Structure 1
Amino acid sequence: MQELFNYFPSFLLVFVRITSFFVMMPIFSYRNVPNTMKIGLGFFIAWIMVFTLDLPLLEIDNMYIFLILKEALVGLFIGFLAYLLLSAIQTAGGFIDFQMGFALANVIDPQTGAQSPLTGQFLYIISLLFLLSVNGHHLLLDGIFYSYQYVPLDQPWIAFGNANMAEYMVKAFSRMFVIAFQMAIPVVSCLFLVDVALGILARTFPQLNVFVVGLPLKIGVSFIILFIMMGVMMLVVSKLFEEMLYFLRGLMNLMGGA
């Protein structure tokens, strides 16, 4: 029992990092996941990690509050980067909706409470199901588990002064847009050709109302292209998961001062 009390300061720090990670992490951070489940899951994962990792025995002193703040920031930054890269899927849906004519038809995402594009929400749900089917959520938990190799528990600081960290976050942000463009380009390019064809028809047959014909035609073409290219999009999503793990490891390495 005395040994358990000795590990209590370390357990509390691990618990703070995991719960702050759940605040931003995809899947676990959604509003339809009860807070009691988040806290309970974080408690049991922290309990397992304390006795699995080789963590130092800490004491509650004047520096302990800074360690708590450091752990909260580490968890938030790691979860935010994972959420940022997965936002590429909704960004791609926004590009597609703009060409389809669904730009104004946003829906409320029940998971986050924010507005999201129709196609983006559809692709995001499919991608989350794909993430769960390949046990990607286990890889995210592995990331927070192995983060102690890069940012030790007793390290009282984060290398925010490292000039490479800001550059790294900008690189991750730009990479998110590149992946979104790669996902959206098949549908967007086909819709551009449809617009060109409608423009030619409008000049050839002035009596044809392209505004009445064009919108349902573009919607139908978009659904057909989405159905055909869904496998390719999921291939890009799998590459996105690899990029996410790569960027998470690099961010933890920079926060550790390497």
Structure 2
Amino acid sequence: MLDSINLAGIPAFLLIFIRVTSFFVTLPLFSYRNVPNQHKVGFSFFIALLMYFSLSIPELAVDEEYFLLLFKEAAVGITVGLLAYIVLAAIQIAGGFIDFQMGFAIANVIDPQTGAQSPLIGQYFNIITLLFILAVDGHHLMIEGVFYSYTLIPIDQLLPLQDESWIQYVIETFNQMFVIAFLMAAPIVGCLFLVDIALGIVARTVPQLNVFVVGLPLKIFIALSVLVIAMTFYMMLIEQLFETMLTTMRGLMQIFGG
């Protein structure tokens, strides 16, 4: 396999390698800090090598347009992977909504995967989502999406950036992400809102009772109870979130491909 790489195919292989590496810089699961950088680069190299011999790659000349193609490949990988990462960020936003109502907003933890502060419930949802993605071979589907991106965005074609439809598509993805986050947080946040109303009524009718002492453990207990009961509902939302991520990646690649 290695012997069949000629010097004329090195520019095309470099373009493939840059797109695959850019995908793994921002793509969920593959971009996390838990994965060593040496592994990311080596894995990207062998995936690019397989794609080079699986796709019909034209011979490219190293000229001014070739350097624009280099930037295009990096932009495609980073943008599509970042959009997928943004869709999964709905989990963290939903966890932030729930933690704020539970009183856990001040107790954020450091996410070892991203190095950023993460809410407790958001981190719990995030772990479940990653396990779900691994259980349904979602990481294989993401690699398959990288492979089939060359049928939507040819390697020798520049991006139609004069068309502003991709900006509108990214904005709609943001809106959809917040809608999914609201749906994930709605059951627990709604129950805790009713608990706040009940505690307010109790505080007015029984002034001797200190609702500030009773309220916090009561809200935590009710929130965790509702979380256990609504776990099936959350798994359905996580499945919808994963399907939305794959659909969003494909839609953006179709827009980039014209």
Structure 1 unaligned segments of length 5 or more: list them. none
**Residue 152 of structure 1: which of 139, 154, 160 is its match?**
154
- Where 1:99 maps in the other structure, the secondary structure is helix
Q: Tell whether 2:61 aligns with 1:59.
A: yes
1:6 corresponds in structure 2 to 8
Per-residue CA deviations over 1:211-233 (Å, capped at 9, x if unaligned) read 10000000011111111111110
2:257 corresponds in structure 1 to 256
Instruction: Tell me how far apart the structure 2 counterparts of residues 71 and 209 of structure 1 sit (CA, whole Å).
Output: 61
- Where 2:253 maps in the other structure, the secondary structure is helix
Code of the residue aligned with 2:8 in structure 1: it is N
Q: Tell whether 2:40 aligns with 1:38.
A: yes
1:177 corresponds in structure 2 to 178
- Structure 1 residue 31, shift from structure 2 partner: 1.2
1:19 corresponds in structure 2 to 21
Instruction: Tell me how far apart the structure 2 counterparts of residues 16 and 65 of structure 1 sit (CA, whole Å).
Output: 12
Code of the residue aligned with 1:134 in structure 2: it is V
Q: Tell whether 2:237 aligns with 1:236.
A: yes
Instruction: Tell me how far apart the structure 2 counterparts of residues 190 and 86 of structure 1 sit (CA, whole Å).
Output: 24
- Structure 1 residue 47, shift from structure 2 partner: 0.4
Instruction: Tell me how far apart the structure 2 counterparts of residues 26 and 86 of structure 1 sit (CA, whole Å).
Output: 8
| RMSD over aligned Cα atoms | 1.1
- Structure 1 residue 65, shift from structure 2 partner: 1.2
- Structure 1 residue 20, shift from structure 2 partner: 0.7
- Structure 1 residue 234, shift from structure 2 partner: 1.1
Instruction: Tell me how far apart the structure 1 counterparts of residues 6 and 226 of structure 2 sit (CA, whole Å).
Output: 58
Question: What is the total number of aligned residue pairs between the two structures?
Answer: 256
Per-residue CA deviations over 1:6-42 (Å, capped at 9, x if unaligned) read 3221111110001011110111111121000000000
2:142 corresponds in structure 1 to 140
- Structure 1 residue 173, shift from structure 2 partner: 0.2
1:186 corresponds in structure 2 to 187
Instruction: Tell me how far apart the structure 1 counterparts of residues 216 and 195 of structure 2 sit (CA, whole Å).
Output: 10
Q: Which residues of 2 match residues 89-238 of structure 1 at below 5 A?
A: 89-155=91-157, 157-238=158-239
2:87 corresponds in structure 1 to 85
Instruction: Tell me how far apart the structure 1 counterparts of residues 256 and 132 of structure 2 sit (CA, whole Å).
Output: 30
Instruction: Tell me how far apart the structure 2 counterparts of residues 143 and 39 of structure 1 sit (CA, whole Å).
Output: 18
Instruction: Tell me how far apart the structure 2 counterparts of residues 7 and 52 of structure 1 sit (CA, whole Å).
Output: 13
Instruction: Tell me how far apart the structure 1 counterparts of residues 74 and 235 of structure 2 sit (CA, whole Å).
Output: 33
Instruction: Tell me how far apart the structure 2 counterparts of residues 7 and 218 of structure 1 sit (CA, whole Å).
Output: 63
Code of the residue aligned with 2:206 in structure 1: it is F
Instruction: Tell me how far apart the structure 1 counterparts of residues 137 and 5 of structure 2 sit (CA, whole Å).
Output: 35
Identical amino acids, percent of aligned pairs: 58
Code of the residue aligned with 1:195 in structure 2: it is D
Code of the residue aligned with 2:43 in structure 1: it is L
Q: Normalising by structure 2, report the TM-score.
A: 0.96
